[in-house]
Amino acid sequence: MSTERAVVTVRLIRSFEQRNIKHVVYKDVDLSQTTADFIQYLLNDLKSRPGISPPFKMFTFDTLKISHQPFGSKTTDPVINRENDEVLVLKPEATLKESKIVNETELSFFKLEDYRAYQQNPQLVW
């Protein structure tokens, strides 16, 4: 049985209000792994990945949400799509494939508590 693999871009969102965002591309992502396993992989990888500043390495990311999929429309919010959480937020026990992750999907990785606060008051600090 062959394993499906994909290129996935992960948007690290450290601050919603200040738009403190960094993109990291992951190649050869195994889509049969669970979201929880992928989150653990990301957390471990970020700690040792060159080019990632200490504030991102030490941040407590805990949630993945689909930001964009190939040939799909993008949100008008400059930070994150604040809608469709029930579909777009990845469930920890589901595999990436079950969560509809395909090649060239873009995921947002953030702290859920910060996201909920941003949903209530989506103001940006300039």
What residue ranges define each of the domains in the chain, with the CATH number in brackets? 5-120 (3.10.20.90)
Kindly give the confidence (pLDDT) of every residue in the chain, 126 residues in length, as a single tens digit, with 9 standing for 90 and above. 457 999 999 999 999 988 899 999 999 999 999 999 999 999 999 999 999 999 999 999 999 999 988 866 666 666 787 888 999 999 999 999 999 999 999 999 999 999 999 988 887 654
Write down the pLDDT at residue 124: 61
The confidence score (pLDDT) of residue 75 equals 64
| Residue for token pair 């989150």 | 39
| pLDDT number for residue 1 | 43
Alpha-carbon span 29 to 96, nearest angstrom? 9
Please give the pLDDT value at position 101: 96
* CB neighbourhood size of 80 (10 A): 20
Q: Is 97 left (phi over 0), alpha (psi -120 to 50) or beta?
A: alpha
State the pTM of this model.
Answer: 0.90
Short-list 80, 85, 74, CA closest to 108: 80
